Chain A
């Protein structure tokens, strides 16, 4: 009878809830430790035909130019489809990316697949820190929405603040099992002696699988970074 079953559930449901909760937390913790353990370890050998969906984070100043420079030497048929994200107030970066993708089409590369998206900025230059709390929340929600749509297997970024929410969400996706991704961070060539704030965060939190720097001084200061020389 309904009365009996409701009594049965109301007696044991607190225990059930607690058990479920503890089990859930344990699973997440185990996953978290597993992801930390596997971060930075190379993936297994791939079959030649396999492609990886790639998220490319662009930024104002020299960031986009440096990123395009890197994309020129990556095999386009391996890193596809490509998703470009730039901050909503950055007018030039997506345009530069479009020009780059068009040049690939013009030079006869087949099967081009690229999408261009804008993301809200966590904080504009000079914005008050009080209002920044709200805008950061909005930006993070927007980042989550975009990442759920894209679910990239590879993340390429080189410094703009927009990459932080995206990288953190990519990491969370790995923990929760939504999508495994490899996160590559190349610190900007303009950073010779000190890391940028984005670089420092990703380095300390050990979120990036590979952390590249372009000047030897940085490699000496941050031993887990890999020195690759100047890209420009």
Chain B
């Protein structure tokens, strides 16, 4: 159905990623009607789920019936391209996914996996949420987060810098200051 008035439908993709983990709870909730309706209501057109080692398979959809188009895959060698073309990223709380997304300047909702033992991951997500770099959520509250989020209120993340550590290491080892 390509008869939209403006001719070309602008794609706004929501990219869900669980990294190399198994996080069925997130995949399931991203695929549930409540969340999909909420995303559609907020103007997104496509939902792409990277489901990792999980066993729950989302239902694919072309979105022709006035709803979200849904697709999924398990792994890719690099999710950077998917991150780049996304308008919203919903990610597990792995530091790699989080910082890759923040460094691309994409809006991010981090969903903490409550089934993990010794969940140190939530520390990072909560700290960055406190600093307003992203939204932090649990699987069961994801649709509420999506409904109430104000992406304009997010503070851009300034990428970190490893040079201070390098300087200290060099100084300790007795290397001269100039690089």
CB distance from B120 to the nearest CB of A (A): 6
A61 contacts B95, C-beta separation under 8 Å: yes
> How far is the CB of A201 from the nearest CB of chain B, in Å?
16
For residue A70, CB closer than 8 A to chain B, the reply is yes
A179 to B138: give the CA distance in the assembly, Å.
49
Q: Does A215 contact B (CB under 8 A)?
A: yes
Q: A44-B174, A45-B174, A69-B162 are in contact. Are A191 and B169 (CB under 8 A)?
A: no
- B141 CB within 8 Å of chain A: no
Provide the residues of chain B in CB contact with A72, threshold 8 Å: 162
B174 & A186 in contact (Cβ 8 Å cutoff): no
A-B contact count (CB 8 A): 98
- Does B34 count as interface, using CB distance less than 8 angstroms? no
Bound-complex Cα distance A44 to B175 (A): 9
**Which A147-166 residues have a C-beta within 8 angstroms of B?**
154
Q: Does B7 contact A (CB under 8 A)?
A: no
- Enumerate B113-169 residues with CB–CB distance to A below 8 Å: 120-121, 123-124, 126-127, 159-166, 168-169
Task: Tell me, yes or no, whether A122 is within 8 Å of chain B by CB.
Answer: no
**Are the C-beta atoms of A229 and B164 separated by less than 8 Å?**
yes
* Contact pick for B160, options A75, A154, A210, A229, CB 8 Å: A229
Closest chain A residue to B171 by CB distance?
A42
Docked-complex contact B123 and A193, CB < 8 angstroms: yes
Count class of interface residues, chain A: 35 or more
Q: How far is the CB of B151 from chain A (nearest CB, A)?
A: 22
- A81 located at the interface, meaning its Cβ lies under 8 Å from any Cβ of chain B in the complex: no
Q: Are A42 and B127 in contact (CB under 8 A)?
A: no
B33 cross-chain contacts in A, Cβ below 8 A: none
Total interface residues in chain B, CB < 8 Å: 30
Q: Which one of B95, B169, B176 lies within 8 Å of A232 (CB-CB)?
A: B95
Q: CA–CA, A42 to B174, complex, Å?
A: 7
Q: In the complex, A190→B179 CA distance in Å?
A: 29
**Does the CB pair B120–A231 fall under 8 Å?**
no
Q: How far is the CA of A228 from the CA of B160 in the complex (A)?
A: 10
User: Do residues A232 and B174 form an inter-chain contact, with CB atoms below 8 A?
Assistant: no
Q: Which residue of B20, B124, B166 is within 8 Å of A190 (Cβ)?
A: B124
Contact of B165 among A52, A154, A228 (CB under 8 A): A228
Q: Which residues of A contact B (CB under 8 A)?
A: 42-46, 48, 52, 60-62, 65-66, 69-70, 72-75, 78, 154, 182, 184, 186, 188-194, 196, 209-210, 212, 214-215, 226, 228-232
Which 10 A/B pairs are nearest by Cβ-Cβ distance? A230-B160, A62-B95, A46-B174, A190-B95, A192-B123, A232-B99, A73-B166, A62-B96, A45-B174, A231-B162
Known: A78-B170, A186-B165, A192-B127. 12 other contacts (CB 8 A): A42-B174, A61-B96, A62-B96, A65-B99, A75-B175, A75-B179, A182-B172, A184-B169, A215-B127, A229-B161, A232-B99, A232-B103
